[in-house]
Amino acid sequence: MRLARYHAGGRLCIEEAPEVGCPPGGILVRTEACGLCSGELMTWYLDRKAPHVIGHEVAGVVIESQDERFPVGCRVAPHHHAPCGQCAACLRGAHVHCPTWKATRLDPGGMATHFAVSAANLADTHRVDDLDPRDAALVEPLACVAKQLRRMHYQEGEPLAVIGLGGMGLMHALVCPGAVGYDLNPARVEWARQQGIDARLASGDEKFAAIVVAPGSVGAVEAALKLAAPEARIGLFAPLPPGEWVERPWEDYYFQDITWVNSYSCGPTDTAVAVQWLREGRVRADQVITEWASLDELPAAYDRMKAGETVKVMVTFS
C-alpha cells in the first residue's frame, strides 16, 4: 500500500509500505478521503513523532470486518484515538486524558490507501453511509470545534469572534451563525465571505465575550485580547510553540476577569455532535477545503498549506 510519511524537518514523502491486516475484533478500511490537519504543519510538534504516518481526518469503506456493527461495504469515520469509558478521566468527561485514548491509534494512519481500526478504536467510530466521504472526513476536526465551544460554555446565538480563518476557524464560524471572523490574509477573508461569514481584515472598537483563537501564534492571542470584553472567555484552540508567550501584565487578566479555555482534541461526545452537524448540513467540505489533491500531489500541497497559500487540503483516493 502507499502512504504519506512525515520526516524530521518538515519533509513529507509518499512511500510504499506492507499491507496492514484486519486487527482482532476490528476493521480494515479502504480510504476514500483524508484531510490535512493544521496541527500536522507544526514542525516543532511533528518532529517529536518523526518518522510518522500523518492523517487522522479520515473516512473510508470497510473491506474486512470482525465487528457486526461495521459490516463490509459500510462507510466509517473513525477517531484516531478512543477512550475506555470506565477510568476516572472518562467518568468526568476528560476522554482525551484517558490512558487508553492515548494508547490507541489508526494503523498506520489515515493518509494511506488502507488503514486498520482496532477493536478499542471502534468505541469512537461512526457509520456515516449517508454522508459524502469528503464531508465524513470532517468528523474529527469538526468534533474538535464542538469540544472547544462546549468547554467555553458557548450559547448558540451568542456573539462570537474567531481569530484566524484557516480550516478550523472557518468551521467555528460556520457552526456559529453571526460569528465574526478575522484574518490577516485577504484571500482567506474573501473565501470566508463567499461562505456567508462576516469576515474582516482588521478589528475596530467591537468587543466580544466569547473569542476563539484558532492559530497557535502570539499575534493571534494578542488580537483576541484587543477584542476581549470584561469577563471574556478566550478559547485557545492550538498551542503556542515552545518558548513563546504573550508578554502582558497578569493583573490585566485578573482585573478584567478574563477566562482562558484550552481545548485539546476531542472525545466521543464531541464526535457525535460533529456527525449530527454534518447530517444537518451546517458544514460542508466544499466550504472548508480550498485544494483537493491526490496522494502523489500531497507533498506539494502540504508545502502550500504550510506557506498559507491555500486554506485547507484534502486528499481523495480513487
**257 grid coordinates:** 476577569
Sequence-distant (6+) residues with CB within 8 A of 269 are 93, 95, 150
One DSSP character per residue, 55-85 reads --EEEEEEEEES-TTS-TT-EEEE-S----S
Task: Say whether both 183 and 46 belong to one domain.
Answer: no
Domain match, 195 and 233 both: yes
- Does one domain contain both 271 and 257? no
Last residue of a domain, one of 239, 262, 285: 262
User: Are 132 and 95 within one domain?
Assistant: yes
Query: Is the domain of 158 the same as that of 254?
Result: yes
Residue 163: helix, strand or coil by DSSP? strand
| 279 vs 33: CA distance, rounded Å | 17
Q: How many domains does the chain have?
A: 2
| pLDDT score for 202 | 80
> Where residue 203 falls among pLDDT bands split at 50, 70, 90?
confident
Q: What is the pLDDT of residue 157?
A: 87
Q: Which three cell numbers stand for residue 62?
A: 470497510
Backbone region of residue 9 per phi and psi (left: phi > 0; alpha: psi in -120 to 50; beta: other values): left
| pLDDT band per the 50, 70, 90 thresholds, residue 318 | confident
* pLDDT for the residue numbered 291: 98
pLDDT at 109 over 80: yes
Instruction: Mark whether 14 and 135 lie in a shared domain.
Output: yes
- Residue-number span of the structural domain to which 297 is assigned: 2-144+266-316
Please check whether residues 131 and 157 belong to one and the same domain: no
For 61-100, the pLDDT digits (tens) are 999 999 999 999 999 999 999 999 999 999 999 999 999 9
CA dihedral for 302, 306, 309, 310, sign (positive or negative): positive
Residues 111 and 225 in one domain: no
pTM: 0.96
Whether 188 and 301 share a structural domain: no
51 and 73 fall within a common domain: yes
CA angle 80, 59, 313 (to 5 degrees): 90
Indicate which CATH number applies to the domain containing 137: 3.90.180.10
Domain end (from 262, 285, 300): 262
109: left (phi > 0), else alpha (psi -120 to 50), else beta?
Answer: left
Task: CATH number of the domain at 207, please.
Answer: 3.40.50.720
- Residue 299 shares a structural domain with residue 240: no
| Angle ∠(290,178,277) on CA atoms, nearest 5 | 60
Residues 236 and 280 in one domain: no
**Alpha-carbon distance 207 to 88, whole Å?**
39
* Amino acid present at 77: A
